[in-house]
Structure 1
Amino acid sequence: MKSFETLGLSKGLVESVLQIGFETPTPIQEKAIPVLLNGNRDFVGLAQTGTGKTAAFGLPLLELVDDKSRDTQALVLAPTRELGLQIANDLENFSEKFKSFNIVAVYGGSSISEQIRKVKKGAQIIVATPGRLIDLIDRKAINLKTIKYIVLDEADEMLNMGFKDDLDKILSFTPEDKATWLFSATMPREVRSIMKNYMSDPFELTVGEQNTGNVNIEHHYVIIQDKDRYLALKRILDYNPDIFGLIFCRTRIDTQKIAEMLMKDGYNADALHGDLTQQQRDRVMLKFRQRSLQILVATDVAARGIDVEDISHVIHLNIPDEMEFYTHRSGRTARAGKKGVSIAMISKRELGKVKQIEKTLKSPFKRMTIPTGAEVCQKQLLAFMHKVNEVKVNEDEIAEFLPAIEAELKSLTKQELIKRFASLEFNRFFDYYRNAPDLNVEGRRGASEGGEDRHSSSGARFFINLGKMDGIDVSKLIEVIDDASGLGKSDIGRIDLKGAYSFFEVDTEKADQILKGFSGIEYKGRQVRVEVTEQKEFGSRSRSSSSSSRDNNRGGGGGRSSGRSSGGGSRSRSSSSDQKKKWR
């Protein structure tokens, strides 16, 4: 393996890097730095988060930028303020023994006038979030015509967050002859579009297989019922007493709610989401980085760009719908070559989603059982005993207190003392977990003909006269069911797609909701027919009841009913033609 000295970097840069604690370059650094030092070619680097991409582009950037000029020569775009501040801080640390640069971080949630003042003092390097940079451009407070190098860090994240238009606008203000360096953990279609429109014959570097996961991450999943989700989360946390982790939720409301519940239950936790002020976010992140917080509960957007060392676990309270979201979530752990664990909490209906992620990442997922109460008590007790065994004894300071302690405990034998001492910790968990139920749900892994694993239930099975010949796949069928009946993905069980028809399952008590919802519904001009089947075997068509319409007309020009009540929850439908939505 090469050293930083052999990559072509100046002595001052190498000294700064070694002082920080970097001993040998990571694969992305080893391969990217020599190419970028030439400074004359566009570049695309694909590597997982936590592999050292900041140094991979930061060190060549510092080497190429002229510290004697006051012009803005380099622009680094990052998806979040946290990542932007981190990059700016890293660049300053990298250059400590090299050159004196004016590196300015530009981001929302902080004084724009102060940022403008710093930029106008002569910022050779600007690290910015797209939204705030647009504000400075609109105010004519920044000149991008002198840009020689632009870095798009976490490009897939920026596009996932909806910054496509902002990126287009920003890039339109930069010179044609600049060098564009793009770094990304994944390479979705939108990133390819950026490459096509704004880059010329880029040098492409992929470290590891494209879209594969970090090999240092252990991927696990647990199957739970929705009502047990929070209880199962606490079991996992209690079973890992030394956890230093991130919990991901889908919404800001859920994030705040879970964090508050954990704090109320005595966990050292806090929340990070978009409703917090910048001051609140900074305070939470400072506590987390200093490890005075053990658990950070976050949304996907708020946690993007977080680079905190030694995160041991990432827990997905809800598994994300997008593959890229899972990649970036799990990438918060196992950084810089260390090990980490990613745990997805799923229902039986989501086994197919796990299988799809597993296939894309080319990393196996292991089924993990939720610990029993007895297992949690044992793990906590052993962890406590380990702390006792490892504790540093301050002999001089404690010496004067020992006689009084020994006098208090003199009636106890060694065995009694051990039992009582252990009980101080054991009783706390044993009282809580006494007669605790088993939260594990039996699940199976297998694919239906339609290509998605879903749970097998004893609920109601439905025949629907839509299938693959209608351009229907599993996600489209779920969308049709949702729009017609108001039932979401979590309400729908196993799906079996055929050529001209399909079968799906829902809980028995929701059967009437399905039948009523599909009354009068059309798909691409074809009347949709939904019927309950009595056969246990999927694929049989014995009917017990059906939606009211039986018209099998395949003519064109129709629509589907989509009238919704404003109440949120149950949805009512009207068959009037002016409320129909056409399916395409």
Structure 2
Amino acid sequence: MMTFEGLGIDARLIQATDELGFVNPTPIQEKAIPVLLSGTKDFVGLAQTGTGKTAAFGLPLLQLINVENKFPQALIVCPTRELCMQIVKEIELFKKHIRGVHVVAVYGGASISLQIRDLKRGVQIVVATPGRLIDLIERKAIDLEQIQYVVLDEADEMLNMGFRDDIEFILKNTPKREATWLFSATMPPEVRQVSKRYMKEPVEVTVGQVNTGNENIDHQYYVTSAHNRYETLKRIIDFNPGIYGIVFTRTKLDAQDIAEKLTREGYDIDALHGDLTQAQRDKVMGQFRDKTLQLLIATDVAARGIDVKEISHVINYELPDDVEVYTHRSGRTGRAGNQGICVSIVHARETFKLRQIEKMIKQPFHRLDIPSGKDVCRKQFFYFMDKLLQTDISHGDYETYVPMLQEKFADVTKEEVLKRVAAMEFDRFLKYYDNAGDLNVREPRVREKSFERGGADQGRSRDMRGREYSHGNGDFARLFVNLGTKDGFYKASFLQFILDMSDLKKEALGRIDMKEMNSWVEVDKNVADKMVRSIDGKTFKGRRIRMNDANSRG
């Protein structure tokens, strides 16, 4: 089995990895490090989050830089503050036995004057988020003229977050770089375009298959009705009393709403979304890392860059529109060889999405029944008993109190003491789940017959609750809106736009047909008027939006 010594790593770095307990390199480290140590080859490394990419580029950088030169020689660009800090923390551990190496993190939400001061003291490696780095470049507070190595970490995440122009600006401002190293979990066209434009015949290494799921993750799903989604989430949390994880929502409003509801009901939970200040975000992340919080309720954008290795569960409160996003979400668990669970709460109409994701990640999904109230109480009870038996009583002068306890409970049987302890612990659960209903929905057969012109079932499909309808009739109204692909929308972004504008849930929508100039939206008849009132007459990019019943037009 390969060791770090066999990869050509400096003895001082080997000493640090040994002290950290790293003996054998991970697959991405084994394949990347020998190439990167040459210092002259461009490189593309495709590997899932949590596979050891920081060491894969961090160790070669520490070996290649010249400690005598006190100016930036290596630049690592990553999408978020959290990942920026994590990378610096790991590199600090690796350089423990190399004197004179200075690493500085620059990111938004912190004092730029203090970061400028740190840069002026002399630094060889800069770890930066794109926005703050460009700010420093424009202030002429950082000189990238002597940068030899540029690392783009989580490149797909940065492009998803809209940093393409920033990345290209940074690459244009590092004219003397000898090598560009790009690391990414996926390889969308945007990442491929950047590599072709700014890299010369890069060595490309893929660990596993692009977009495939981590084999340490068990992918599970529950099918319920839309209005029972929140109650199903509570059941999942209660059925896993030791849970430590992230619940992903589509919008920041959902994240805040769910966090507030669960907090009121006594759960150790907080929300992570774009409306938080940096100080609030740091506080929430600090509480999550030290496990004061049991769960984070987060949007995809807010969760980018979170690197916490012991997450047991990822829960998709709703499936993402983009199938690739599922890979990023699920990759938050099952890290560092640990087992993880990714749970999705879906309604019957969404099960086709699971089949798409299965094909992409090449891993099966396991359907589970939503636990009954009795199942939840039983699971909580056994968890409590195990915790009681494992409680450490070796510290503390408990013997002092034993005579008083024996006297106090002299006339009470052991069975009665146990019952009273159980009552104190489980009274809330027993009352809440008394006569709790079944939240499961059985999957209906989806779609029927041919859609060919003239067929008996032409234009028939299923609504979000699995009921059959004819387009524009039955339970759905068909609305016209004068927005289309020419306005910069694609189906997922248009869906999110109309949901945000109308404050409706996705389950209220049926089919969406988009054209260049116009679109047609099928919506539950009960809320169609609300959608029209919310959207018709508003403006988008200076243009008045028109929305009305498509069947009444003309």
Asked if TM exceeds 0.5, the reply is yes
Name the aligned partner's letter for residue 302 of structure 1: A
Tell me: CA distance 1:173–1:215, structure 2 relative to 1, closer, same or farther (3 Å). Answer: same
Q: How does 1:118-517 map to 2 (within 5 A)?
A: 118-394=118-394, 397-444=397-444, 457-462=466-471, 490-493=507-510, 507=524, 509=526
> Does the Cα contact within 8 Å between 1:4 and 1:24 map onto a contact in 2?
yes
SS at match of 1:573: strand
Task: Name the TM-score, length of structure 2 as normaliser.
Answer: 0.85
Question: Computing the radius of gyration over CA atoms, which structure comes out larger, 1 or 2?
Answer: 1
Tell me: CA distance 1:453–1:28, structure 2 relative to 1, closer, same or farther (3 Å). Answer: farther
Task: Name the TM-score, length of structure 1 as normaliser.
Answer: 0.81
Name the aligned partner's letter for residue 149 of structure 1: Y
Report what 2:20 is aligned to: 20
* Equivalent of residue 565 in structure 1, options 510, 513, 537: 537
Which stretch of structure 1 is more off in the superposition, 404-413 or 69-78? Answer: 404-413
SS at match of 2:237: helix
Instruction: Deviation per CA, 1:366-414: give whole Å up to 9, x if none.
Output: 1122211100000000000001111112376101101111122122223
Tell me: CA distance 1:512–1:113, structure 2 relative to 1, closer, same or farther (3 Å). Answer: closer
Deviation of 1:221 after TM superposition, in Å, equals 1.4
Deviation of 1:509 after TM superposition, in Å, equals 4.7
> Does the Cα contact within 8 Å between 1:221 and 1:343 map onto a contact in 2?
yes
Report what 2:455 is aligned to: none
Instruction: Deviation per CA, 1:270-323: give whole Å up to 9, x if none.
Output: 222222222222222122111122111222122111111210001111211112
SS at match of 2:548: coil
Name the aligned partner's letter for residue 399 of structure 2: A
SS at match of 1:337: coil
Q: Which runs of 5+ in 2 are unaligned?
A: 452-460, 479-484, 514-519
RMSD over aligned CA atoms reads: 3.5
Name the aligned partner's letter for residue 213 of structure 1: G
Distance 2:155 2:539 in 1: 39
Deviation of 1:177 after TM superposition, in Å, equals 4.4
Distance 1:87 1:511 in 2: 49
Distance 1:295 1:248 in 2: 10
For CA contacts below 8 A with separation 6 or more, give which structure has more relative contact order: 2
Distance 1:270 1:181 in 2: 36
Which stretch of structure 1 is more off in the superposition, 216-225 or 46-55? Answer: 216-225
Instruction: Deviation per CA, 1:208-263: give whole Å up to 9, x if none.
Output: 01211111111111122222222111111110000111111222222222222221
> Does the Cα contact within 8 Å between 2:464 and 2:509 map onto a contact in 1?
no
> Does the Cα contact within 8 Å between 1:243 and 1:312 map onto a contact in 2?
yes
SS at match of 1:192: helix
Aligned residues: 517
Moved >6 Å (runs of 4+): 447-450, 475-480, 503-506, 510-514
Tell me: CA distance 1:170–1:277, structure 2 relative to 1, closer, same or farther (3 Å). Answer: same
Distance 2:521 2:105 in 1: 52
Name the aligned partner's letter for residue 122 of structure 1: G
Distance 1:454 1:285 in 2: 39
Report what 1:116 is aligned to: 116
Deviation of 1:345 after TM superposition, in Å, equals 1.4
SS at match of 1:220: strand
Which stretch of structure 1 is more off in the superposition, 394-403 or 352-361? Answer: 394-403
Q: Which runs of 5+ in 1 are unaligned?
A: 466-471, 497-502, 518-562
SS at match of 1:235: helix
